Amino acid sequence: MKKITVTCTSATKSFNIAGIQAANIVIADDSMRRAVDKYAFSTGAFGLNIMGLVATRAAYTYGDKWMDELITYLEGNVGLVKRRLEGTKLKVTDIEGTYLMWIDASAMGLDDPSKFFLDKVHIRFSEGTFFSKKAGQFIRMNIACPRSVVNEALDRMLSLPEIHK
């Protein structure tokens, strides 16, 4: 397995430091590593700037408490969305280790749920079809934001008679 395994990680999403443009690539197989290095060099996507190195090291060394608090906060946002949308035509799917919630709007019978919410209440959700042709009735909601922002989005959604059973 190690001959074909390439593991890519980064602190950027988890610690909200995406601007540092830093990632880690672990490749056990020498020939695979050379091939990846060659491609990375040819595209200019190689090397690490000093700010990226310092920020990554700080996140991994001192970020435990912050991460624990973030996870607790995000779990609160997940619970909030589930509670507030319970009993509506919108079915919230279980979240799987991310801050993006998939919401099934198929009970609303819309051609394009994301366009509906954008047009009606000015909320831009990610379209499910961006991720899969089978997800046309889904929207993806980012809950990695202040609870007041999540509540504002939910207030707008719940103001629509079309989502109520």
Hey, where are the domains in the chain?
Answer: 6-62, 66-163
Residues 132-137: contacts with CB within 8 Å, 24+ apart? 135/102, 136/112, 137/104, 137/105, 137/106, 137/110, 137/113
Phi, psi angles (nearest 5°) of residue 130: -65, -30
Q: Is 95 helix (H, G, I), strand (E, B) or coil?
A: coil
Question: pLDDT value at position 129?
Answer: 87
Task: Residue 136: count other Cβ atoms within 10 Å of its Cβ.
Answer: 16
Question: pLDDT value at position 130?
Answer: 86
DSSP 139: E
Q: What is the pTM of this model?
A: 0.80
Answer positive or negative: Cα dihedral of 113, 114, 118, 122: positive
Instruction: Fold for 66-163, please state it.
Output: Aspartate Aminotransferase, domain 1 (3.90.1150)
Tally the residues of the chain.
165
Tens place of pLDDT per residue across the chain (165 aa): 778 899 999 998 888 888 888 888 899 999 999 998 899 889 887 777 899 999 999 999 999 999 999 999 999 999 999 999 999 999 999 888 788 999 999 999 999 999 999 999 999 999 888 888 888 999 999 999 999 999 999 999 999 999 998
